[in-house]
Amino acid sequence: MDNIVVTGIGTLNPAGIGADNTFDNVLKDDSYIDFITRFDSSKYKSNVAGEIKDFVPTDYISKRLVKKTDRFTQLALAAVQMALDDAQINTGDFDPNRLSLMVGNVLGGWEFAERELRNLWVKGEEYVSPYQATAWFPTSAQGYISIAQNIKGKARTFVADRASSAYALQDAISTLNRNEADIVLVGGTEAPLSPYGWLCCESSGYLSPNKNEPSETYKPFSEEHSGMVLGEGSTFLVLERLSHAQDRNAKIYGEIKGWGVTNDAYYPYYTHRPDGQKLARSMQQSIDRASISPEEVNLLFLHGTGIPSEDATEVYAYREVFKDGDKPILTCPKASFGHLLGAAAVTDIMLSLLSIERRLIPPIINLETPAYGFDDLNFVTKQPYKQDISNALIISRGMGGNNLSFVVGGVSS
């Protein structure tokens, strides 16, 4: 098998538009979470989120396409084009049957759907958009990207809660390893800020209740952790085999060296195994596939939902995998901009690659006092931590006990 490398990155999220802008902002120990403005959220128990303030869809796509699509698709179309531009790829120069696309998404296009359903019941069926049937569907982004970029190879959408883009990434790696494509676009996209969509998220019981200060609401691994704060956004990566990237003299951000997948298979449904053993197994699988030892992992990107029981199982898994030798530095940058659900895993992959490139680790904000039993861990707080990083391990998890992890690093010789 050839090495699988990342040659392009595109992202739009509450911390910034573009990879460099995002990374610069998460280094600042600032919060990009505030009260929701996209709809009246005053009656919700949780009414803070990470919003992208300066995204203008027509800066990236036509007005005609804007009318046909929900925000989650618009964000994805923009992120894909940014990733391709970064990789210096014009898809028209490649065999469309050798181009592949993998997308992670959870909620689909509820902002579009709610608006049109309201038109149906208030005004009548003749006022409903003919694009209602396609705009809300989770595969909408996949379809429009495929059309826009003339992608005719394998294309899939993964709906697996917060691990959606992690599954997309795992399948992208397998697609390249099986020589089913030369270039794979892989990413996730999410726009959860609509009244009904938000109600669905809040009814899960996993969102953090309101605090007096929005910026202090999301506190993973803190003694005050009380749940997730969500954000909207999209991140896409360009993946290639190393030989293909070298043949076209592409810039290489890094290599995805290993991955692991397990499932807790735990009852009650939608809960995690409390001892973290299956998560630890996923982490060890990714390390083994990368042909390294745990001592060679310098950096661990925690999933960090801020749900106390989930934070605890991550720590249990960490202690199981890294019980001997040197321990990695721990971070969770999503605390500053929100959990991006279906786009969370690939966004963490992006940030880990930039951490390796710049030798800087972003801090976890709002972590003044770690939760009980966590105070001996190597969390990065307050300011960036400077360190050479050989290998980073990234954790992704979803309800129902989905556990995925990835090892990324510099290109192996």
d(CA 114, CA 383): 41
State residue 326's pLDDT score.
87
Closest CA to 191 of 391, 398, 399, 343: 343
d(CA 240, CA 250): 10
Query: Along the 413 residues of the chain, how does pLDDT read in single tens digits?
Result: 689 999 999 999 999 999 999 999 999 989 999 999 999 999 999 999 999 988 999 999 999 999 999 999 999 999 999 999 999 999 999 999 999 999 999 999 999 999 999 999 999 999 999 999 899 999 999 999 999 999 999 999 999 999 999 999 999 999 999 999 999 999 999 999 999 999 999 998 899 998 779 999 999 999 999 999 999 999 999 999 999 999 999 999 999 999 999 999 887 877 789 999 999 999 999 999 999 999 999 999 999 999 999 999 999 999 999 998 889 999 999 999 999 999 999 999 999 999 999 999 999 999 999 999 999 999 999 999 999 999 999 999 998 889 999 999 998 76
- Count of Cβ atoms closer than 10 Å to residue 35 Cβ: 12
State residue 230's pLDDT score.
98
Dihedral angle, C-alpha 12, 13, 15, 19, nearest 10 °? -40
The residue type at 373 = G
Contact 236, 80 (CB under 8 A): yes
Q: What is the DSSP secondary structure assignment for residue 93, as one 8-state letter?
A: G
d(CA 365, CA 26): 9
State residue 46's pLDDT score.
94
| Residue 52: both structure tokens together | 């992208």
Q: CA-based Rg of the chain, rounded to a whole angstrom?
A: 20
d(CA 120, CA 263): 41
State residue 413's pLDDT score.
61
State residue 1's pLDDT score.
64
d(CA 51, CA 14): 5
d(CA 343, CA 106): 9
State residue 241's pLDDT score.
98
Q: What is the DSSP string of 311-325?
A: HHHHHHHHHHHTSSS
State residue 210's pLDDT score.
82
d(CA 402, CA 261): 8
CB-based contacts of 145: which residues, under 8 Å, 6+ apart?
Answer: 76, 77, 80, 101, 103, 151, 185
State residue 121's pLDDT score.
95
Closest CA to 330 of 308, 363, 353: 363
State residue 271's pLDDT score.
79
